Amino acid sequence: MNNSKDSILAVILVLVIIASGIDLYTDVSHGASLHHTIKEGIVMLLAITGVIWLIYNLRAQRQEINELTENLNHQALVQKQPDTYLLDARKKFSEVVSQQFDEWGLTASEKEVGWLLLKGLSLKEISIIRNTMEKTVRQQASAIYRKSDLPGRHSFSAWFIEDLFSR
């Protein structure tokens, strides 16, 4: 989501650069004052600087995403396959969580957010994964807490694992 905002801002700045360039050329050809010409030149230089900065940041973000993707792919290859008993426990836990989500009446989106919350992802990370606004994820998380009658994120997670460590 942030990349699209940066791209839109870059396009706007490019339009400012073009308009400033045309205006600057027209002003110089019509003999505008040096003071006025310098002001417009500064606006144009600021817009150019902004575009360069945005492009640099977009490339840095793209590179970071590529590196993270490579790391995830590498970890998936390197990671040892869990034992059968652990896979069975995960499956049973997944079934219990899914059943509880159904009992609470969570929507499909809320269930997805609930799973990502249980995995420990931040609201921002969830919004990136789901390609939604962070505000939307926050509202869905609030709906989960309200429907589950739990006060927040920590209580939500603890609800599922609280008795796992009892002896």
> DSSP character for 81?
P
Are 95 and 56 in a shared domain? no
Question: Alpha-carbon Rg of the chain, whole angstroms?
Answer: 26
Are 71 and 118 in a shared domain? no
State what percent of residues in the chain have pLDDT above 90. 43
CATH number at residue 153: 3.40.50.2300
Q: What is the pLDDT of residues 113-158, one digit of tens each?
A: 999 999 999 999 999 999 999 999 999 999 999 999 999 999 999 9
Among 17, 44, 78, identify where a domain stops.
Answer: 78
Task: Identify the residue whose tokens are 């992802």.
Answer: 121
pLDDT category at 108 given cuts 50, 70, 90 is very high
Asked if residue 140 lies in contact with residue 113, where contact means CB atoms within 8 angstroms, the answer is yes
Are 107 and 37 in a shared domain? no
pTM equals: 0.53
Are 45 and 63 in a shared domain? yes
Q: Which domain holds residue 152?
A: 84-165
Among 32, 57, 78, identify where a domain stops.
Answer: 78
Q: What is the pLDDT of residues 8-37, one digit of tens each?
A: 888 888 888 898 889 888 988 888 888 888
Among 27, 48, 78, identify where a domain stops.
Answer: 78
